[in-house]
Amino acid sequence: MTKGLQDNPATIDNLCVNTIRTLSMDAVQKANSGHPGAPMGLAPAAYALWTRIMKHNPENPGWIDRDRFVLSAGHASMVLYSLLYLSGYDVSLDDLKNFRQWGSKTPGHPEFGHTPGVETTTGPLGQGFANAVGMAMAERHLAARFNRPGHEIVDHYTYVVCGDGDMMEGIASEAASLAGHLGLARLICIYDDNKITIEGSTDITFTEDVALRFKAYNWHILNVDDGNDTDAIHTALETAKAETERPTLIVLRTCIAFGSPNKQNTAAAHGAPLGEAEVCLTKANLGCPEGLKFCVPDEVLETFGKCIESGRKGESKWQEMYKTYSGKYPDLAEEWADAMNGYLKEGWDVEIPDFLPSDDPIATRAASGQILNAIANKLPTLIGGSADLAPSNKTYIDSSIEFQKDSYDGRNIRFGVREHAMGGILSGMLLHNGLRPYGGTFLVFADYMRPAIRVASLMKLPLIFIFTHDSIAVGEDGPTHQPVEQLASLRVIPGFTVIRPADASETAEAWRETIKTISGPVALILSRQKLPVLDKNAIKDGLSKGAYILSDSEGKPDIILIATGSEVHIALEAKAGLSQQGIAARVVSMPSWELFEKNPQEYKDRILLPDVTARIAIEAGSPMGWKRYVGDGGAVIGISTFGASAPGGTVLEKFGFTSENIIETAMDLLKNSL
Ligand SMILES: Cc1ncc(C[n+]2csc(CCOP(=O)(O)OP(=O)(O)O)c2C)c(N)n1
């Protein structure tokens, strides 16, 4: 159990630790919002890790061989902001005073890309843990590929701090299970075992033996029974670093809001300011000047300041090593530089096959598999896998091997049936830098990883999601496996690009577009069933524009048929049928709303002709959102219920995805608009 304050003498260690506590208390109090308890309990571990163990350079938060630090318990953000400020990152005391304010560098939860030194966005519990697993995987992969004897240019650890909340989340279990299987020894988790969450003691809901659980996952377990004992924490971290076979979990028994006479060890300290009076009492109790706010003694700055010196030295030593490395291995160094800069070499796409209308019909997932392999041959940073559906998702890189404990250089990751962890791990791999990760599953199971997709979108990470089996055409597996609402629900995520190509050639263009995208995740939505190949001369740059005229009428159209994916083909059939009845139809293939929206209005109007109000959207999914393109006068052929189990062709027919139904709908629409 945590020692009492009588065992908390006025050493420089305690002064540093208590400064983290008082800064956290003061910032939360000033903002009148936030979480003081966890930072106060975690302060000794944070201090020991950042000043004695971690390899980092506050002057260059992007140094590639730095140790990574992930605060999965993102609500404890004040501990991270305090560390960043004290150890010399570009975060000031004023930034701490502006905690949680508009435009400040110190938002409520850590946000990647916003605050120097923040490695990932955390807050949704468990996500950070999966990110850390991804970072540790990236470290091992890059080390296996680039290190040479005596030149370990990739040689760092990933530290992740989790609370009870993280440990309760399923994503953490999934990711921990995979990390244990992979033997990620450079992953070290500090579990803030304070036994308090929002509703009270963990006794009411979380009584399992977490250590035993992690032991079963093949983790190395260490216990530190006194969360205030910086030396014991230091020793545990050193022991963890020395472990070479398994990731380490340090179960650290802490006390939430340590030092607060009336609130420590209570849920009241979790997510609300302690109150002015309690802050004063706590400072007095800790031996800090109770009248001073945001007080940082010079000795504390001096102690933390050593991080700058050691960071500078550490990085320059690394730079020297890299210099000799690049002299000795110029080809590897070039590959390294390309990987780190995300540089696409000329010709990266030359092996992408040409698909011809004379070819046999081919499912877009199958075309995607060929394209992925063609790109992988030229783009060594491409790495990924599937959540146990590689044979269906066509995600395997044939020219590489599996990423396993004894072959970290492999580019085929077996994520297992762990979609949620896969999402978070992909983000972690990308955040590490040097890799372009992808992950696949059935579209319907995108829901299992949605929280990870959301945070990746928030971080603008250019991840690649390969979602196959994209509609009710899945057939016999029935409604559990037939996506209906997924397209609409993915399109609604800000910054997420959804592309549903109509054929193999659009799929090739979709991959080109995806690889070139660096500003956010992309989902490729691919068919299980075979589809005819379109004329790529008709597509040209149409896919990159999100929508284009695939087949036009002679003269002004009476009606515009807008379709995505497999439904483009029945729209083409319907056009032919309509023309026999003297009706001029234009077929617009619209693989991506998000790409289409990026065009100037003039282009959009050229495609959708504002004065042609008779429009039909056809997509085997929820009709929600399509009114945006068909207008009030238009019709949507979609699906508002769940699907059904039967052969795919039958299901499509029963749900109205036939050229006959499109023709009938068009006739009705035109009749009504006369
Ligand atoms: C996925 C998710 N669910 C719920 C929350 C809301 N939430 C924030 S902190 C917290 C309790 C976490 O408890 P613990 O990890 O023990 O943190 P401590 O009480 O030690 O600060 C909850 C439920 C969240 N941030 N993320």
Convert the pLDDT of each residue in 228-273 to its tens digit. 999 999 999 999 999 999 999 999 999 999 999 999 999 999 999 9
Q: What's the pLDDT band for 179 if we cut at 50, 70, 90?
A: very high
Residue 42 in contact with residue 23, Cβ under 8 Å? no
As a whole number, mean pLDDT of residues 295-310 equals 97
| CB neighbours of residue 560 within 10 Å | 26
124 lines ligand 1 (CB under 6 A): yes
Task: Give distance in angstroms: CA of 11 to centre of ligand 1.
Answer: 32
Give the relative orientation of helices 419-432 and 450-458 as an angle to the nearest 10 degrees: 20
Whether the predicted pLDDT of 1 surpasses 50: no
Which amino acid residue places its CA nearest to atom 8 of ligand 1?
A: 75
Summarised one tens digit per residue, pLDDT across range 62-90 is 999 999 999 999 999 999 999 999 999 99
Q: What is the pLDDT of residue 449?
A: 98
Q: Which helix (H) or strand (E) holds 340?
A: helix 330-341
125 lines ligand 1 (CB under 6 A): yes
Instruction: Tell me if residue 506 is catalytic.
Output: no
Residue 478 in contact with residue 574, Cβ under 8 Å? no
Whether the predicted pLDDT of 7 surpasses 60: no
Mutate to test the pocket of ligand 1, among 75, 162, 171, 263 (most ligand atoms within 8 A of CB): 75
Q: What is the pLDDT of residue 6?
A: 41
Strand blocks (E) in 326-485: 362-363, 382-386, 402-403, 412-414, 436-442, 464-468
Whether the predicted pLDDT of 313 surpasses 80: yes
Whether the predicted pLDDT of 336 surpasses 50: yes
193 lines ligand 1 (CB under 6 A): no
Q: What is the pLDDT of residue 4?
A: 42
197 lines ligand 1 (CB under 6 A): yes
Which amino acid residue places its CA nearest to atom 20 of ligand 1?
A: 38
Residue 202 in contact with residue 164, Cβ under 8 Å? yes
Q: In the β-sheet with 68-71, what is the strand arrangement from edge to edge?
A: 68-71, 158-162, 187-193, 248-253, 220-224
SS3 annotation, 156-181:
CCEEEEECHHHHHCHHHHHHHHHHHH
Summarised one tens digit per residue, pLDDT across range 491-512 is 999 999 999 999 999 999 999 9
Residue 31 in contact with residue 97, Cβ under 8 Å? no
199 lines ligand 1 (CB under 6 A): no
Structure tokens at 192: 């803030």
Angle at 88 between CA 84 and CA 89, to 5 degrees: 55
- Residues near 197 by Cβ (< 8 Å), separated by ≥ 6? 163, 164, 165, 168, 205, 206, 267, 270
Q: Give the position, in ligand 1's atom list, of the atom nearest the Cα of 38.
A: 21
Q: What is the pLDDT of residue 673?
A: 74
Q: Label the pairing between strands 635-637 and 615-618.
A: parallel
Q: What is the pLDDT of residue 674?
A: 59
Residue 82 in contact with residue 26, Cβ under 8 Å? no
Q: Which residues of 524-556 are buried (b: 16+ CB within 10 A; e: fewer)?
A: bbbbbbbbbbbebebbeebbbbbbbbbbbbeee
Phi then psi for 373, rounded to 5 degrees?
A: -65, -40
163 lines ligand 1 (CB under 6 A): yes
Whole-angstrom distance, CA of residue 66 vs CA of residue 55: 6
Q: What is the pLDDT of residue 211?
A: 98
As a whole number, mean pLDDT of residues 357-385 equals 98
The alpha carbon dihedral of 39, 41, 42, 43 has a sign of positive
565 lines ligand 1 (CB under 6 A): no
Whole-angstrom distance, CA of residue 643 vs CA of residue 621: 10
Task: Give distance in angstroms: CA of 494 to centre of ligand 1.
Answer: 24
Q: In the β-sheet with 559-563, what is the strand arrangement from edge to edge?
A: 548-551, 585-589, 559-563, 615-618, 635-637
Task: For residue 50, give the DSSP letter.
Answer: I
Q: Give the position, in ligand 1's atom list, of the atom nearest the Cα of 198.
A: 11
Task: Give distance in angstroms: CA of 197 to centre of ligand 1.
Answer: 6
Q: What is the pLDDT of residue 3?
A: 42
Q: Which helix (H) or strand (E) holds 636?
A: strand 635-637
pTM tops 0.95: yes
Structure tokens at 5: 């304050």
Which amino acid residue places its CA nearest to atom 9 of ligand 1?
A: 75
Mutate to test the pocket of ligand 1, among 35, 109, 125 (most ligand atoms within 8 A of CB): 125
Q: Give the position, in ligand 1's atom list, of the atom nearest the Cα of 202.
A: 16
194 lines ligand 1 (CB under 6 A): yes
Q: What is the pLDDT of residue 9?
A: 66
Task: Give distance in angstroms: CA of 125 to centre of ligand 1.
Answer: 6
Q: Which residue has the tokens 């959708």?
A: 608
Task: Give distance in angstroms: CA of 281 to centre of ligand 1.
Answer: 26
198 lines ligand 1 (CB under 6 A): yes
Whole-angstrom distance, CA of residue 665 vs CA of residue 292: 74
Whole-angstrom distance, CA of residue 91 vs CA of residue 75: 18
Whether the predicted pLDDT of 172 surpasses 50: yes
Q: What's the pLDDT band for 672 if we cut at 50, 70, 90?
A: confident
164 lines ligand 1 (CB under 6 A): yes
Task: Give distance in angstroms: CA of 456 to centre of ligand 1.
Answer: 20
Task: Give distance in angstroms: CA of 193 to centre of ligand 1.
Answer: 13
Summarised one tens digit per residue, pLDDT across range 128-168 is 999 999 999 999 999 999 999 999 999 999 999 999 999 99
Task: Give distance in angstroms: CA of 425 to centre of ligand 1.
Answer: 20
Structure tokens at 410: 């492999």
- C-alpha distance from residue 650 to each of 475, 617, 618 (Å): 8, 21, 17
551 lines ligand 1 (CB under 6 A): no
Please compute Rg for the chain using Cα positions. 28
Summarised one tens digit per residue, pLDDT across range 193-236 is 999 999 999 999 999 999 999 999 999 999 999 999 999 999 99
Q: Give the position, in ligand 1's atom list, of the atom nearest the Cα of 167.
A: 15
Q: Give the position, in ligand 1's atom list, of the atom nearest the Cα of 76.
A: 21
Average pLDDT, the chain: 97
Q: What end-to-end distance do the CA atoms of the chain give, in Å?
A: 81
Which amino acid residue places its CA nearest to atom 13 of ligand 1?
A: 197
- Of 419, 506, 509, 567, which one is the catalytic site residue? 419
Whole-angstrom distance, CA of residue 198 vs CA of residue 273: 14
As a whole number, mean pLDDT of residues 517-543 equals 96
Structure tokens at 429: 């791999």
Outline where 32-64 has alpha helix (H): 37-48
Q: Give the position, in ligand 1's atom list, of the atom nearest the Cα of 256.
A: 20
